[in-house]
Amino acid sequence: MVVQTELSDAEVDRIFHALADATRRDIVRRTLVGDASVSSLAADYAMSFAAVQKHVAVLEGAGLVTKTPRGRERLVRADPEMLARAQRLLDAYAELWRGRVERLDALIAEDT
Amino acid sequence: MVVQTELSDAEVDRIFHALADATRRDIVRRTLVGDASVSSLAADYAMSFAAVQKHVAVLEGAGLVTKTPRGRERLVRADPEMLARAQRLLDAYAELWRGRVERLDALIAEDT
DNA sequence: CTAACGTACAACCAAATGGTTGTACAAACG
DNA sequence: CGTTTGTACAACCATTTGGTTGTACGTTAG
């Protein structure tokens, strides 16, 4: 889509795909506030631990989240740098669309 | 993720999924500027007409795009209202993340 | 009218997704 | 020590995805 951004098409694909699932969005939300082990995350979803592990892996692959070992646990946290890049990406789209919508509004206004 | 938005989880799923493909993002970009028939869109991608038809259907299902018949053609255009809703959704995420990042920045600043 | 064009839709296929269970292993607990 | 906890990973499965080709049908052009 060649919006102003430093992200490749494949990275944008991965980011949007990672966010296209309610469980994964919830994991991002929770790890935004503070760290959480994979099992503590898994405790709140009606699916197996392994399934949650996979969701975390998808988020990790998109760079939205990082995992750091602490003892036998793996702490998951939202990665601020990648979130900032994703944020700029979303801003770029929002801005693009805003421009389009305002242009349409202007056309409608002219019609009156 | 329960961000401030009027969209259901399933709708958010569909929107992000629709945007998780470079061809579909390109179609949105092109129909943002002006209408385009499905075949005129398809002419620019290295895939069959039917494949492009399916991509348009995904965008349509997400509400990002509408199709209106004109003669034998079907004109595709980005839907301003849904784009505005998607824009607010993206804004909400960006804002959420911005808050988190700024909070982290503040913590780092305190450490110095 | 006939031919070409634009679309719809079904059938099919390979690969990816999203889930499961089972096994293995290191770390923490008692 | 042995047991439980947290994780990793493989195998498996059903469904979805993203692509294909082929057929049918209305619309436009000659």
Partner-chain contact B94 A78, CB within 8 Å: no
Q: Please say if the pLDDT value at position A26 is more than 90.
A: yes
Taking contacts as CB-CB distances below 8 angstroms, the residues of chain B near A100 are 32-33, 78, 80, 83
Tell me the pLDDT band of A4, cut-offs 50, 70 and 90.
very low
Per residue in B40-72, pLDDT (tens digit) is 999 999 999 999 999 999 999 999 999 999 999
Taking contacts as CB-CB distances below 8 angstroms, the residues of chain A near B2 are 29
Of A63-67, A107-111, B52-56, B94-98, the least confident: A107-111
Partner-chain contact A17 B22, CB within 8 Å: no
d(CA A63, CA A88): 14
Q: How many residues can be counted in chain A? A: 112
Give Cβ neighbours of residue A111 (< 8 Å, ≥ 6 apart). none
- Parse chain B into domains and list their residue ranges: 9-111
What is the average pLDDT value for chain A, to the nearest integer? Answer: 84
Q: Among partner residues B16, B87, B100, which is closest to A32 by beta-carbon distance?
A: B100
Q: Please say if the pLDDT value at position B19 is more than 50.
A: yes
What is the average pLDDT value for chain B, to the nearest integer? Answer: 84
> What's the longest Cα–Cα distance across chain B?
68
Closest by CA to B92, choosing from B2, B3, B20, B1, is B3
Question: Would you state the pLDDT for residue A33?
Answer: 81
B60 touches strand C (CB under 7 A): no
- Give the residue with greater pLDDT, B63 vs B1: B63
Pick the residue of A16, A45, A66 with the most B CBs within 10 A to test the interface with B by mutation. A16
Exposed/middle/buried for residue A60 (C-beta within 10 Å: 0-12, 13-18, 19+): middle
> What average pLDDT score do residues A40-60 get?
97
DSSP letter at A7 equals -
> What average pLDDT score do residues A92-108 get?
66
d(CA B66, CA B59): 8
Q: Please say if the pLDDT value at position A88 is more than 70.
A: yes
Exposed/middle/buried for residue B67 (C-beta within 10 Å: 0-12, 13-18, 19+): middle
Q: Among partner residues A9, A80, A97, which is closest to B100 by beta-carbon distance?
A: A80
> What average pLDDT score do residues B103-108 get?
64
> What average pLDDT score do residues A73-91 get?
80
If DSSP codes are grouped into helix, strand and coil, which group holds residue B36?
strand
Protein footprint on strand C: which nucleotides are under 7 Å from a CB?
Answer: 5-11, 17-22, 26-28
Question: Would you state the pLDDT for residue B63?
Answer: 92
d(CA A48, CA A16): 24
> What average pLDDT score do residues A103-109 get?
64
- Statement: B9-111 belongs to CATH 1.10.10.10: yes
**Interface check B87 vs A, CB under 8 A:** yes
> What average pLDDT score do residues B78-103 get?
71
> What average pLDDT score do residues A7-15 get?
91
> What average pLDDT score do residues B75-96 get?
76
Tell me the pLDDT band of A3, cut-offs 50, 70 and 90.
very low
